[in-house]
């Protein structure tokens, strides 16, 4: 079976295959969503142009029977493989391994930490990844909120992050999310993102870090509007000394309200590890509903 870069006509057929396979958790990958328009928007939003990294498996009658593509970030040395997708289970057994190889081979030498992600139901992907020694994450829950009903008012101590917050946010970000896909610098410098900080001018000063008169930064939250129109809150954390005192609620309310207002689909999505009891408790108290489960498989996890 040939795995190669596609002809223009094969790109369209591969897209049809991807849309079809994304419809069910047992064959979908985590990153692209499930609706045809949403998938196309997410693909077009991938940093490395997806048509350049798309690789297809083609059978004897020139049909596209498998596809894969990959995105990467040299700053963090990580890649995210989208797919592989195959026409059916028999074809998975035949070409999934070669498709995954084709994707990984495209990444620069500085990128050594590769990841695929899907629902736990996608057992074939789990087998493929673990057969390579890739390490499964714990289950992550996907939560969504569509209304701010019952949320507390956003407190006056939450404000948009400014350049002077970078050092304080970096410390909290790296402690809470070591080895994650985006640095604090990237969060703060991305004009497409909403990044807020929770400050405290007097109390709890020993728990946070000064930002030169603008208040002690006790925590931050950062979110974006995805290409498919959903809001995505990917980071929220307090400095360790500020946790467990109910302060996260104000920050969650403020970022959630900002994202709901900006999301064309009027929703906030987030993922959380199933073992993260305080965060799960907080999200459920806010009325976030659990919509799906995901597992990531990484070749060299750094966290």
Q: Which C-beta is closer to ligand COA: that of 22 or that of 117?
A: 117
Q: Which C-beta is closer to ligand COA: that of 35 or that of 76?
A: 76
- C-alpha dist (Å) from residue 226 to 43, 54, 141: 11, 21, 18
Of the residues 189, 285, 289, 291, which one makes contact with ligand COA according to CB under 6 A:
285
Both tokens of 64, joined, read: 């596209």
- Smallest CA-to-CA distance from 65 within 93, 95, 43, 36 is with 95
Of the residues 62, 152, 241, 281, which one makes contact with ligand COA according to CB under 6 A:
281
- The per-residue b/e assignment along 288-298, b for 16 or more CB within 10 angstroms, e otherwise, is beeebbbbbbb
d(CA 42, CA 38) in angstroms, rounded, equals 6
Both tokens of 211, joined, read: 């930002």
Told to check if 237 binds ligand COA by CB under 6 A, we report yes
Binding footprint of ligand COA, residue count (CB under 6 A)? 19
CA angle 197, 172, 292 (to 5 degrees): 85
Question: In the bound complex, what is the minimum distance in angstroms from residue 198's beta carbon to ligand COA?
Answer: 9
Question: In the bound complex, what is the minimum distance in angstroms from residue 176's beta carbon to ligand COA?
Answer: 4
Of the residues 76, 183, 210, 276, which one makes contact with ligand COA according to CB under 6 A:
276
Using DSSP's 3-state secondary structure scheme, residue 121 falls into coil
The reply to whether omega before 241 is within 30° of 0 (cis) is: no
**Binding piece for ligand COA, criterion CB under 6 A, among 24-32, 120-128, 181-189, 240-248:** 240-248
Q: Which C-beta is closer to ligand COA: that of 17 or that of 270?
A: 270
CA angle 6, 8, 9 (to 5 degrees): 95
Please give the residues from 243 up to 272 whose contact with ligand COA meets the rule CB under 6 A: 243-249, 272
Question: In the bound complex, what is the minimum distance in angstroms from residue 227's beta carbon to ligand COA?
Answer: 22
Please give the residues from 157 up to 196 whose contact with ligand COA meets the rule CB under 6 A: 176
Using DSSP's 3-state secondary structure scheme, residue 204 falls into coil
Residue 112: count of CB within 10 angstroms of its CB: 13
Question: In the bound complex, what is the minimum distance in angstroms from residue 87's beta carbon to ligand COA?
Answer: 36
Interacting residue ranges for ligand COA, rule: CB under 6 A? 176, 236-238, 243-249, 272, 276-279, 281-282, 285
């Amino acid at each position: 079976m040939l795995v190669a870069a596609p002809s223009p006509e094969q790109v369209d057929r591969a897209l049809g295959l991807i849309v079809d396979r994304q419809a069910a958790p047992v064959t979908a990958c985590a990153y692209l969503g499930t609706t045809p328009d949403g998938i196309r928007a997410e693909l077009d939003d991938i940093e490395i142009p997806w048509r350049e990294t798309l690789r297809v498996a083609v059978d004897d009658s020139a049909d596209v029977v498998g596809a894969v593509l990959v995105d990467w970030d040299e700053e963090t040395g990580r890649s995210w493989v989208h797919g592989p997708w195959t026409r059916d289970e028999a074809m998975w057994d035949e070409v999934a391994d070669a498709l995954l190889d084709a994707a990984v081979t495209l990444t620069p030498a500085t990128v050594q930490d590769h990841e695929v992600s899907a629902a736990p139901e996608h057992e074939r992907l789990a087998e493929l990844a673990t057969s390579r020694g890739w390490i499964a994450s714990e289950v992550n829950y996907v939560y969504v909120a569509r209304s701010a009903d019952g949320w507390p008012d956003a407190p006056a101590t939450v404000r948009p992050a400014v350049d002077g917050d970078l050092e304080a946010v970096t410390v909290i970000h790296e402690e809470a999310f070591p080895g994650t896909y985006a640095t604090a610098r990237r969060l703060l410098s991305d004009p497409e993102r909403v990044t807020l900080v929770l400050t405290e001018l007097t109390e709890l000063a020993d728990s946070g870090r000064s930002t030169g008169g603008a208040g002690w930064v006790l925590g931050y939250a950062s979110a974006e509007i995805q290409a498919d129109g959903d809001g995505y809150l990917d980071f929220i954390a307090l400095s360790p000394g500020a946790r467990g005192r109910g302060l996260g609620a104000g920050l969650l309310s403020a970022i959630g309200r900002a994202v709901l207002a900006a999301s064309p689909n009027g929703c906030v999505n987030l993922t959380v590890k199933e073992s993260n009891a305080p965060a799960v408790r907080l999200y459920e108290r806010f009325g976030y509903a659990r919509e799906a489960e995901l597992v990531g498989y990484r070749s060299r996890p750094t966290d």
